[in-house]
């Protein structure tokens, strides 16, 4: 559950800052892009919306001269409240889910331990 919660939080904040989810950010599969979407490929200067000099670029030719940091700042300014609310509710939801599923997860972990994989796999 911790991995799922970490990915959910990462997804919320990556959408709020770079405009795409973590998978799209890493694979450059944004489904059409947009003026507020940034991918890793673009930050490294290899994408269609090439920002040129990597993450530290503060100005660039893409979309009217806005650079990577300008776009990230713009996205954060417009999305921080929604992301904060989503992040808080996601944390509360995962906390409740962990409490509600404590007994079934404990039983599953005991079974995995009996099968000999309890040190490698936990639920």
Q: How far apart are CA 86 and CA 105, in angstroms?
A: 26
Q: Tokens 């799922």 belong to which residue?
A: 4
Q: Chain-centre distance of CA 111, in angstroms?
A: 33
Instruction: Return the domain boundaries, the chain.
Output: 2-114
Q: What are phi and psi of 86, to 5 degrees?
A: -60, -45
Dihedral sign for Cα 38, 41, 43, 49, please: negative
pTM for the predicted model, two decimal places: 0.74
pLDDT, tens digit (0-9, with 9 covering 90-100), for 40-93: 888 887 765 554 444 434 334 444 556 778 888 999 999 999 999 999 999 999
């Amino acid at each position: 559950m911790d991995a799922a919660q970490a990915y959910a939080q990462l997804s919320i904040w990556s959408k709020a800052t770079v405009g795409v989810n973590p998978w799209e950010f890493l694979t450059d599969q944004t489904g059409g892009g947009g003026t507020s979407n940034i991918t890793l490929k673009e930050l490294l200067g290899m994408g269609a919306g090439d920002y040129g000099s990597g993450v530290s670029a503060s100005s660039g030719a893409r979309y009217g001269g806005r650079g990577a940091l300008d776009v990230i700042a713009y996205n954060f300014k417009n999305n921080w409240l929604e992301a904060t609310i989503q992040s808080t509710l996601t944390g509360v939801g995962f906390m409740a889910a962990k409490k509600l599923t404590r007994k079934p997860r404990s039983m599953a972990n005991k079974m995995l331990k009996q099968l000999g994989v309890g040190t490698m796999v936990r639920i």
